[in-house]
Amino acid sequence: SSDLEGDISSELKEAMGIELYRQEKITHFQLSQLLGVDRFETDGILKKHGVMIELTPEEFRDQVRSLREITCE
């Protein structure tokens, strides 16, 4: 029962977060914090639900910075 409750709770949190993101009430970063995942996992979750990823200019700069760090290693 506890595992089932945990699964339902995380699914509800994901659904609620995605809906808030769709309504532009939270940012991509806030969604990732809510779900407890990194930005790449957040992108995957949004893609799984057919949600277009819209980043704030700051979030876009952060992603560019991260990609530069990865490619320079």
Split at pLDDT 50, 70, 90, the class of 73 is low
Q: Mean pLDDT across the stretch 30-58?
A: 90
Residue 57 CB burial class (10 angstroms; 0-12, 13-18, ≥19): exposed
CA distances to 6, 19, 28, 54, 71 from 22, in Å: 24, 5, 10, 9, 31
Distances (CA, A) of 9 to 12, 25, 42: 5, 21, 17
Q: What percent of the chain has pLDDT over 90?
A: 47
Percent of the chain with pLDDT over 70: 96
Give yes or no for residue 1 having a pLDDT over 80.
no
Q: What is the mean pLDDT of residues 5-33?
A: 90
pLDDT of residue 69: 84
